[in-house]
Amino acid sequence: MNRMTERRPSLSPLLTPLTARPPGLADGLLGGALAAGLGLGSIAVLVMVLWISSPYPDSGPGGALHIAAALWLLAHGAELVRPDTLSGVPAPVGVTPLLLFALPVWLLHRAARDAAEGEDDTGPMVEPRTAWAGVVLGYLAVATGAVIYTAGGALRPAWLWTVLWLPLVAAVAAGLGVWTAYGRPIGPLDRVLVRLPRGVRRFVRGPGGRAGRERLALAARAAGAGTAAYVGGGALLVAVSLVWHGGAARMSFAQLTEGWSGRFAVLLLCVVLVPNAAVWGAAYALGPGFMLGAGRVTGPLYADPAPLLPPFPLLAAVPDGGPGTPLHWATGVVPVAAGVTVGWFVGRAARPRWSLGRTFAGALRAAVLCAALLALLAALAGGPLGVGTLARFGPVWWQVGAAALAWTTVVAVPLAVVVAAWRRRAARRQAEAPEPAEPQVPGSRGAEPKSTKTRLAAPEAAQPPVTGPPDDPAKTPGPAPTAPDADEPYDFLPTEPWRDEDAAVPEARSAAPRQASTDTPQSEDSQEPGKPEQPEKAEAPEESAEPEGPGNPDEPEDRDEGKSEAPENPDDPGIPEALGNPESPETPEDPSEHPSENPGPEPRETTLETSEAIEAIPEPLKTP
C-alpha cells in the first residue's frame, strides 16, 4: 500500500513575485538617491562652513541645516516662503539662482546615464523606462524627506510650486540622461512631437524623415549658439555697468557686513547670482528690460526712478532712471550679434540641395527655439523677493521671449538666406571651373624644353680625349649615352663635339692652333691607324655625295665647309655616314688610291697640334 502524503507549497514560488524585478531598477534607485544626497550635502557643507565662520551665529546647527535644505529646494525652481516678517504677511522668495539650478540638473543627468548603461560595459543596456523610473523615484524619495524637514524652518517651501517643479525637473533631467546613454535617438522625440497639433508638429520637425530630423538638429544647434550669445552679451553689459558704478558697488558691499566671513558670504552669493544678472542684461538689451518692483521698469529707452532697494553689489549696477541715451541704445548690439550667430550657423550648415525656402524655414525654426530658451531662462532668473515693492522682480518671461523672437527673426533669417545663396554660388563656380592640367614630366611628349643655362655646365664634367691607340675603334670613348627624346630640342653643347680637323679650332680661340691648322691641312684618310679618331661636327646632308676622284695635289680638299666624305662603315652603325668616320686600323686603305696625299711625319706633327687645340676647347666654355 502506497502512502500518499500531502506537501505544502514551498516559499520560493510565493517569494518569486516579490524578488522578480526588472534588471537595473535597484541601480537606478540607488543612483537617484545618491544624486539627491550629493546635491543636498554639497549645499549643506557650504552653509555649515559659513555658519561656523560667522561671528554672530543666531541659531544652532539645526537652523543652518534648515537653510541648506531650503536652498536645495530653491535650486530646483521651487518657491520659498518667509513667514517671519515685520508686517506679519509671509514674504515669498522665488528667484532661482541659475548656478545652483545647474547642480541638480547635472547630477540627475549623470545618474540616469550611468543607470541606463549598467554596471558592466560589455553587457546589455538597461531598459530605458526602468532606468528612468529608478532614478526619478530614488531622487524624489530623498526630496520628499528634505521638503518635510524644511517645513519647520525659517524658509518654508510653497507647496504648490514644490509639487510642480521638483518632479518636473527630476523627470526631464533623468530623461535627458537616458536619452544620451542610448545615443540620442530620434524616436522619443517623435513620440513627443506626435502629441502636438499638426501645424506645430510640421513646423518643428519639417517634412519628416531623415531630412526633417537633420533640420531639427540644425535648428537646435543654432538656437543654442544664439542663446549663448544673448547670455554672454548680457554678462558683458553687467560687467561694464559694475565698472561704471564701481563706487556704489563697493559702498553697498561694505554696508552689508564688516567681518571677512560675512563679506565672503556676500561675495559667494553674488557669484551664484551672476548668471541671473546676465539674463537680466540680455533682457535689457532686447528692449523690455526688467522690473524692480510693481510698475517700475528699467530699459534702454526709458527707466523709471529706482525705488529704495536693499544694499547689494549687483543691484548697485542698475542704470539710473530717466530717458535713454545713445550709450544705452548701444546695447542693441547684443541682439544683433546673437541674430548674426543664428543666421551664420543655419547658412553655413544648409545643404547645397536646399532651396532658399527651406533655409528660410530653418532659420525661422532656430529663432523660435532661441526665443523659447530665453523665455525659460527669464522665468527662472526672476521672481518675487517679498511683498509690495519687491513683489515683481526681474524680467517678464513672455516679453523677453517675444522680443527675442522679433530680433532674431529680423537679423538671422535674411543672413541665413544670403549665406546659403553665396555658398551655393561658390559651389556652382567650383563645379563649372575647368580641371587643372596635369603637370608635364620632363622628357615626355609635349613637355616644355629644358633651360639652356643648366645644360652649359656639362663641359666641366667632360673627360679629356684619349691619345693612346685604341684596341678597337668601337671602344673609342664618346659622349655619354642619354635617353632618346625626339621632341626635346638640342639646346646644349655636347661633351665631345664632332668636328673637322680644321674646324676644331674656332676663330675665337688662340692664334697658334688656328695658324697650324690653316697652313697644314690634313686629310681624313692620312690619319695613322694608331691615332684615335678625332670628333668632328658637321651638318650631315640627307644623301651622301659620291667621291669624284682624286683631287689636285696642288690644291687641298675643301674641308672648311664640312663636306668631306668617307666610305661607309657597316661595322660601326652608331656613327653616321656623313660624319666621316676614319677607317679601322684592321683594314688600312691603300695609299696608291690617293696619289696626291703623302703621309709622312708632317701629318703626325699637325695632329698633335690639333689635339692640343682640342684639349684647350673646354677652358673658354667654363667662363660665364
Bridge partners, 394 (sequence order): 291
Separation CA 432–CA 426 (nearest Å)? 10
Strands 302-303 and 322-323 turn out to be: antiparallel
- Tell me how crowded residue 1 is: count the other CB atoms within 10 A of its CB: 3
Lowest mean pLDDT among 214-228, 297-311, 367-381: 297-311
Q: Is the same domain home to 123 and 162?
A: yes
Contact 127, 133 (CB under 8 A): no
The pLDDT, as a whole number, for residue 285 is 95
Domain boundary among the residues 414, 431, 448 is at 431
Q: Is the same domain home to 239 and 323?
A: yes
Q: Is the same domain home to 174 and 204?
A: no
Contact 154, 66 (CB under 8 A): yes
Contact 413, 359 (CB under 8 A): no
- Structurally, the chain folds into a number of domains equal to 3
The pLDDT, as a whole number, for residue 454 is 41
The pLDDT, as a whole number, for residue 528 is 44
The pLDDT, as a whole number, for residue 462 is 45
Does some domain include residue 558? no
The pLDDT, as a whole number, for residue 553 is 39
* Cell 502524503 found at: 5
Q: Is the same domain home to 211 and 121?
A: no
Angle in degrees, CA 497, 500, 502, rounded to 5: 125
Separation CA 288–CA 268 (nearest Å)? 29
Above 70 in pLDDT, residue 276? yes
Question: Is the pLDDT higher at 592 or at 258?
Answer: 258
* Of 212, 468, 231, nearest in space to 358 by CA: 212
Under DSSP, is residue 156 helix (H, G, I), strand (E, B) or coil? strand
Task: Please give the single-letter amino acid code of residue 359.
Answer: T
Q: pLDDT tens for residues 372-428? A: 999 999 999 998 888 877 788 889 999 999 999 999 999 999 999 999 888 777 766
Question: Is the pLDDT higher at 622 or at 250?
Answer: 250
Above 60 in pLDDT, residue 1? no
Above 90 in pLDDT, residue 570? no
Above 60 in pLDDT, residue 605? no
Contact 403, 288 (CB under 8 A): yes
Q: Is the same domain home to 223 and 272?
A: yes
- Tell me how crowded residue 599 is: count the other CB atoms within 10 A of its CB: 14
pTM, rounded to two decimals: 0.65
- Tell me how crowded residue 235 is: count the other CB atoms within 10 A of its CB: 17
- Tell me how crowded residue 539 is: count the other CB atoms within 10 A of its CB: 8
Domain boundary among the residues 413, 431, 449 is at 431
Mean pLDDT of all residues belonging to the chain: 74
Phi/psi for 455 (5° steps) reads -75, -25
Q: Is the same domain home to 162 and 293?
A: no
- Tell me how crowded residue 282 is: count the other CB atoms within 10 A of its CB: 32
Does some domain include residue 444? no
Does some domain include residue 591? no
Round to the nearest angstrom and report the end-to-end CA distance of the chain: 134
Q: Is the same domain home to 255 and 390?
A: yes
- Tell me how crowded residue 495 is: count the other CB atoms within 10 A of its CB: 17
Q: Is the same domain home to 164 and 212?
A: no
Does some domain include residue 47? yes
Under DSSP, is residue 618 helix (H, G, I), strand (E, B) or coil? helix
The pLDDT, as a whole number, for residue 433 is 66
Question: Is the pLDDT higher at 593 or at 83?
Answer: 83
For the chain, give the percent of residues with pLDDT over 90.
35
Q: At what angle do helices 356-381 and 333-349 cross, to 10 degrees?
A: 140
Does an H or E element contain 290, and which?
strand 290-292
Above 60 in pLDDT, residue 120? yes
CA 155 to each of CA 61, 66, 266: distance values in angstroms, whole numbers, following the listed order: 15, 8, 19
Question: Is the pLDDT higher at 350 or at 8?
Answer: 350
* Of 101, 103, 117, 119, nearest in space to 180 by CA: 117
Above 60 in pLDDT, residue 242? yes
Question: Is the pLDDT higher at 613 or at 528?
Answer: 613
Above 60 in pLDDT, residue 621? no
Does some domain include residue 225? yes
Above 80 in pLDDT, residue 122? no
Q: Is the same domain home to 254 and 398?
A: yes
Above 90 in pLDDT, residue 34? yes
Q: Is the same domain home to 181 and 219?
A: no
The pLDDT, as a whole number, for residue 144 is 95
Cell output for 366: 532656430
Separation CA 370–CA 366 (nearest Å)? 6
Full strand arrangement of the beta sheet holding 393-394: 322-323, 302-303, 297-298, 290-292, 393-394
Domain boundary among the residues 163, 185, 207 is at 185
Separation CA 103–CA 379 (nearest Å)? 18
For the chain, give the percent of residues with pLDDT over 70.
63
The pLDDT, as a whole number, for residue 293 is 78
Lowest mean pLDDT among 42-46, 235-239, 290-294: 290-294
Separation CA 545–CA 577 (nearest Å)? 11
The number of helix segments (H) and strand segments (E) in the chain equals: 21, 8
* Cell 535650486 found at: 75
| pLDDT grade for 167, boundaries at 50, 70 and 90 | very high
DSSP letter string over 493-516?
Answer: --SS----TTTTS-TTS-HHHHHH
Cell output for 377: 531662462
- Tell me how crowded residue 236 is: count the other CB atoms within 10 A of its CB: 16
Separation CA 44–CA 65 (nearest Å)? 6
Which range in 66-70, 200-204, 596-600 is most confidently predicted, on average pLDDT? 66-70
Does some domain include residue 228? yes
The pLDDT, as a whole number, for residue 436 is 60
Q: Residue 208 is part of which domain span?
A: 199-431
Does some domain include residue 563? no
Q: pLDDT tens for residues 487-534? A: 444 444 455 544 444 444 444 444 444 444 444 444 444 444 444 444
Q: Is the same domain home to 355 and 229?
A: yes
User: What sign does the CA torsion over 510, 516, 519, 520 have?
Assistant: negative
Q: Is the same domain home to 246 and 161?
A: no
* Of 388, 268, 256, nearest in space to 316 by CA: 256
Give me the torsion for CA of 583, 584, 588, 592, rounded to 10°.
0
Contact 176, 168 (CB under 8 A): no
| DSSP code for 386 | S
> 42: number of CA atoms within 13 Å, CB side?
11
Phi/psi for 157 (5° steps) reads -75, 145
The pLDDT, as a whole number, for residue 446 is 47
| pLDDT grade for 148, boundaries at 50, 70 and 90 | very high
How do the residues of the chain divide into helix, strand and coil, expressed in percent and rounded to 5?
55, 5, 40
Task: Please give the single-letter amino acid code of residue 104.
Answer: P
The pLDDT, as a whole number, for residue 439 is 55
Does some domain include residue 561? no
Contact 204, 193 (CB under 8 A): yes
Segment 133-137 mean pLDDT = 96
